[in-house]
Amino acid sequence: MTSALYPTYPRADLAFKHGEGAWLIAENGDRYLDFSAGVAVLSLGHNHPRLVETLKRAAEEPWHVSNLFRIPQAERLAERLCDATFADLVFFTNSGAEAVECAIKTARKFHAVNGQPERYRLITFEGAFHGRTLATIAAGGNAKYLEGFGPPVEGFDQVPFGDFDAVEAAITQETAGVLLEPIQGEGGLRVFSPSFLAQLRALCDARGLLLVFDEVQCGVGRTGKFLACEHAGVAPDIAALAKGLGGGFPLGACLATREAAKGMTLGAHGSTFGGNPLATAVGGAVLDVVLAEGFMARVARLGALLRQRLAEFEDRYPSLIEEIRGEGLMFGVKTRIPNGDFAAAARAEGLLTVLAGDNVVRLLPPLTIDESDIAAAAARLSDACARLAAPAEKLGAA
């Protein structure tokens, strides 16, 4: 597999020619059940009629006009995001990392315009992932991602996962806020408890800090609520969205309260492509489906069903599966064997998954799956587990 692409990804030797709902058909005709969903991007699955129709219609209108002009599709999408969340204002981006960058800049600028420019530091958590730009690798603090790229961007103080005392102890005169994913995605589907999020909210209020949620992976209905933080009844001051928001079209958003965004005035930030008509038209169509009556309740119900099936495998194969984690349709299977072996066995049975840190295999199906897709996934996982659990000598015969 030689290619002119940077060899930065461990790509499977698989390419696809067709997709429909939760299914992908490879170039050689093999069918795969796609529980990777482009890493939680394909909230509505492949080839969703509403998205296809919206994109086709948008393609007949101006694709791009720049942010030097009004973009009605973006204005409408921003309004709907505000109606659906804690937010009053939105900045659109093309990716998750850019949405987090905007969140970081918004938090820093808030204190700067309050006359405290020295308050620029954010407290972050071990196991975090916030993207691959220079600021977001510094925020994530993963040494592997920082190595060789020069001095890390200043201003991030990392504390152990879920350690409230450590957060309190890390606060200084320079602290601007706290940044976290309510459910860590790349870090291994680690869920911050509702009580921890509520404690953070109270702490931020008491100390004049901004609470910033990176919901790039767990947001937009993935957990059965529009934002994952709603499970805890906690609202942030600023939140980053991306992945599922565009349903496959690159689109991110930084959401903020009017107060938190008070520093983001004329000229404070910009993006050439951010919030262009194509992206925001598609984002609007995603919201038409995700915000429709009953959709997120259905995600929660299907998530409970999938969890039940996964729990059965956990009981049946304790030598393979240590723990099931997650919420809604965002699952992590912590494996006792190398997670790559587990994912490879699932793929050999026609089920696509995504790896995460902490030896976890992620199941991130489209939010539009139905009971038959869950049954199909369970059948494939069952075969994969049986194969992995079989003594080595039987494998050849199988």
Ligand X SMILES: *Cc1c(COP(=O)(O)O)cnc(C)c1O
- Residues engaged in binding ligand X (CB under 6 A): 95-97, 100, 129-131, 181, 185-186, 214, 216-217, 242-243
CB neighbour list of residue 77: distance below 8 Å, 6 or more residues apart: 90, 92, 275, 280, 283, 284, 287
Decide whether 24 or 216 has the Cβ nearer to ligand X: 216
From 7, 66, 59, select the one nearest 275 (Cα to Cα).
66
Least separation, in Å, of the C-beta of 248 and ligand X?
Answer: 12
Nearer to ligand X, 131 or 221 (CB): 131
Buried/exposed code over 235-266 (b: 16+ C-beta within 10 A; e: otherwise): bbbbbbbbbbbbbbbbbbbbbbbeebbebbee
CB of 45 to ligand X, least distance (A): 19
Choose between 98 and 157: whose C-beta lies nearer to ligand X: 98
Query: Distance (Å, rounded) from C-alpha 127 to C-alpha 186?
Result: 8
Residue 256, marked binder: no
Side chain identity at 197, as an amino acid letter?
L
Least distance in angstroms from the C-beta of 163 to ligand X: 20
Of the pair 190, 380, the CB lying nearest ligand X is at 190
Q: Which is nearer to ligand X, 22 or 251 (CB)?
A: 251
Q: Is 205 annotated as a binding residue?
A: no
Nearest approach, Cβ of residue 271 and ligand X (Å): 13
The H or E element containing residue 301 is helix 295-316
Beta carbon of residue 249, minimum distance to ligand X (angstroms, whole number): 12
129 is in an annotated binding site: yes
Please check if 132 is assigned to a binding site.
Answer: yes
Residue nearest to ligand X (CB): 96
Closest CB to ligand X among residues 33, 212: 212
Contact (Cβ atoms closer than 8 angstroms) between residue 278 and residue 64:
yes
Q: Is 3 annotated as a binding residue?
A: no
272 is in an annotated binding site: yes
Q: Are 188 and 332 in contact (CB under 8 A)?
A: yes
Identify the three-state secondary structure at position 196.
Answer: helix
- In order, the DSSP letters of 71-127 are -HHHHHHHHHHHHHSS-SEEEEESSHHHHHHHHHHHHHHHHHHTT-TT--EEEEETT
For residue 252, the minimal CB distance to ligand X (Å) is: 6
290 is in an annotated binding site: no
Residues of each annotated binding site: 96-97, 129, 132, 214-217, 271-272
Residues of each annotated binding site for N(2)-acetyl-L-ornithine: 132, 271
